[in-house]
Amino acid sequence: MEKIILTGDRPTGKLHLGHYVGSLRRRVELQNSGRFDKIFVMIADAQALTDNADNPEKIRQNLIEVALDYLSVGIDPAKTTIFIQSQVPELCELAFYYMNLVTVSRVQRNPTVKTEIKMRNFEQSIPVGFFCYPVSQASDITAFKATTVPAGEDQAPMIELTREIVNRFNNIYGPTLVEPEILLPDNAVCQRLPGTDGKAKMSKSLGNCIYLSDTPKEVKKKVNSMYTDPEHLTIDSPGHIEGNCPFIYLDAFSNDGHFAKYLPDYANLQELKDHYTRGGVGDGTVKKLLINVLEEELAPIRERRRQYEQNIPAVYDILRQGSEAARAAAAATLDEVRAAMRINYFADSDLIASQAARYRS
Ligand code: TRP
């Protein structure tokens, strides 16, 4: 069986370091690993509209930001099909059929949907489209016969629901769809990178993000104001590593090579952590290292972004071509789905012949 990836993001904002360590960096690795036959990355504008119906302009503006972020981190349109969800209407048709295979109470139990309903104060007035987005997500995945969905843990309930829909469909209509598996980030730091305030996950509404498109000056400023250890008052006082932002970010971004280059007094992060814990390392030293480490990662991303920004029509062309290719793939699956469900009336000459025989006098 072919190995196929599908994953995506809602275009509700620019992508930040949390997205980068949680999924983007991994996608590029998977793309370049040669282990997959096809890779689809989707900008989920239709899903974003399920709770932004009154603000389509926000989605329209952020769509290009997300596309630029994808291209600048190294998602390569020659290897990965980048497409826009709304430009593949076949996905809606699939969702319409899948809705019959899922109960309302099943969706109500979805913990991610529950949290989102609370966050958006939707308790009294959930848009039907929003409520159904997990079902539509099953369409996104199965339309491409995806075997692998790289995503964060919050997406696990969606993949689980997708597997249930696939099983139900295949049981009723015969083997047609492929059961996907989730591919989670490989370590805890990457799973949940805290914001620069050290509190919650990075999120635009909390204003605690470092964006992939931030300038070196912005990155420096944000790192320098990061939350560290409030009890670490002087360089010599013992410090705590846990919950200390610059150290958490170093966990996610640094390697031994960085130490040789930027802080050769230490062989690796553990040595620096040990010294900090004992006392004798200032926060400034740690932050300066982090700024260097982040710059090394972000500079090429920024440079690639700048190049694409100079040619925005070409970026839309990439999205158009990707959407056309995605549409062809989804249409092929939809043909199989319609045939399995026996609603392919006009393509079924036996049906027409047998009905004709039944009525012939
Ligand atoms: N729900 C995902 C998010 O909030 C976006 C998404 C839509 C997605 N369809 C998908 C992710 C299919 C993986 C697979 O970011």
Q: What is the pLDDT at residue 235?
A: 93
Cα Rg of the chain, angstroms? 24
Distance CA 154, CA 343 (A): 35
Distance CA 127, CA 251 (A): 40
149 CB near ligand 1 (under 6 Å): yes
Q: What is the pLDDT at residue 122?
A: 81
- Per-residue pLDDT tens over the stretch 211-259: 999 999 999 999 999 999 999 999 999 999 999 999 999 999 999 999 9
Ranked by mean pLDDT, which of 112-116, 200-204, 245-249 comes out on top?
A: 245-249
For 264, residues 6+ apart whose C-beta sits below 8 A from its C-beta are none
Residue nearest to atom 2 of ligand 1 (CA): 9
C-alpha angle 353-358-361 in degrees, rounded to nearest 5: 110
Q: Which domains does the chain have, with CATH numbers?
A: 4-192+311-353 (3.40.50.620), 214-308 (1.10.240.10)
Q: What is the pLDDT at residue 123?
A: 76
What's the mean per-residue pLDDT of the chain? 95
Q: What is the pLDDT at residue 186?
A: 81
CB distance 221 to 266 below 8 Å: no
Distance CA 138, CA 269 (A): 41
- Per-residue pLDDT tens over the stretch 303-348: 999 999 999 999 999 999 999 999 999 999 999 999 999 999 999 9
SS3 at position 8: strand
pLDDT surpasses 80 at 88: yes
Which residues on adjacent β-strands are paired with residue 38?
4
Give the residue carrying structure tokens 């944000």.
222
Distance CA 229, CA 287 (A): 13
Which residues on adjacent β-strands are paired with residue 16?
211
Distance 306 CA to ligand 1 centre (A): 27
Pocket test for ligand 1, best of 4, 5, 10 (most atoms within 8 A of CB): 10
Residue 147 sits at φ, ψ, to 5 deg, of: -95, -25
Residue nearest to atom 3 of ligand 1 (CA): 9
Residue nearest to atom 15 of ligand 1 (CA): 9
Pocket test for ligand 1, best of 158, 159, 163, 183 (most atoms within 8 A of CB): 158
CB distance 117 to 161 below 8 Å: no
Residue nearest to atom 5 of ligand 1 (CA): 9
Amino acid at 27: R
Percent of the chain with pLDDT over 70: 100
Nearest atom of ligand 1 to the alpha carbon of 6: 14
139 CB near ligand 1 (under 6 Å): no
Distance CA 209, CA 203 (A): 6
| Tally of CA atoms within 13 A in the half-sphere of 65 that contains its CB | 19
pLDDT surpasses 90 at 192: no
Helix axes 216-224, 283-309, angle to 10 degrees: 150
141 CB near ligand 1 (under 6 Å): yes
CB distance 199 to 187 below 8 Å: no
Global pTM?
0.94
CB distance 115 to 356 below 8 Å: no
